[in-house]
Amino acid sequence: MADVAKDAILCFSTIRNEMGRLPHFLDHHRALGVDHFLMVDNASDDGTMDFLTAQRDVSVWSTSHSYKASRFGVDWLTALMMRHGHGRWCLTLDADELFVYAHHDLRDLHALTDWLDITDRPSMGALMLDLYPRGPLGRTGSKTETDPISTIPYFDAGNYVMIRQPRLENLWVQGGPRARTFFHADPRRAPTLSKVPLVRWNRRYAYVSSTHSLLPRGLNHVYRTDGVEAPTGVLLHTKFLPEIVSKSVEEKRRRQHFENSDLYEGYYDALIDDPILWCDRSTRYHGWRQLEALGLMSRGGWD
């Protein structure tokens, strides 16, 4: 990895065939203040590796080993974070996630993490917010390097359920368009939407399940229980770009994305059928202030 400053903010990600998202993903997080990206490429064949090796602020490793066997990329990133992330603020994201937080249009991640340090907060949580188009998923045009939000600008403003998990003391949030469309008969199987993507890393730390929870479990306390709000962000989830239909065919065959892939056969089949997630309660995205007003994120005292 190239030499980076001790106070550099690092972004870690595992990727596979993400050329439709990577240019904007990198530009968005560069604008937020990420100083260097550390990425593990899982045998892409769409030009991803060549593109990343040409970026001055990206270090990339390649593996053809099983994504599922690596605990869905967590083990690969943990090794990198132990070596390069110790003592630094680290942002861990999927390539289909765009991190936003209060004042991100005016204050960068260095300003945010300085405030988190001052207020003794070693981690910050975020809600993964699924974005989708108005029509069928696979029939909306998009181009590489364009902002995906212009293609999939809608989200669910409500229908979220939150509980506190007693074992790791993390929040477990479910809901949104996937819960109401694909898992309405059994909402407990719907994807988990709560994450802890921003952490001042220590080599003794480890993610347990994707970025949904960590050890030590105190890092999962990204919420308050005294009636005062904690600062939270949102991960704008761009999974439902038009390529989702063809990608679902491939991922159903590869069986790498779920612990029990047999349970999700119907989920992939529904995506392959090119569904419409939009409904008359869908909301068009307009920025972080809108998300705060809806109660989906909070500045938590960072005024």
pLDDT score for 45: 92
Strand partners, 209: 213
The reported pLDDT for the residue numbered 260 is: 47
Give the model's pLDDT for residue 69. 84
Q: Which pLDDT belongs to residue 273?
A: 86
Q: What is the pLDDT of residue 209?
A: 85
Q: What is the pLDDT of residue 106?
A: 97
Per residue of the chain (303 residues), give pLDDT as tens.
668 899 999 999 999 999 999 999 999 999 999 999 999 999 999 999 999 999 999 999 999 888 778 887 899 999 999 999 999 999 999 999 999 999 999 999 999 999 999 999 999 999 999 999 999 998 766 555 589 999 999 999 999 999 999 999 999 999 999 999 998 888 888 999 999 999 999 999 999 988 999 999 999 999 988 878 999 999 999 999 988 877 766 665 655 445 444 555 677 688 888 899 999 999 999 999 999 999 999 999 999
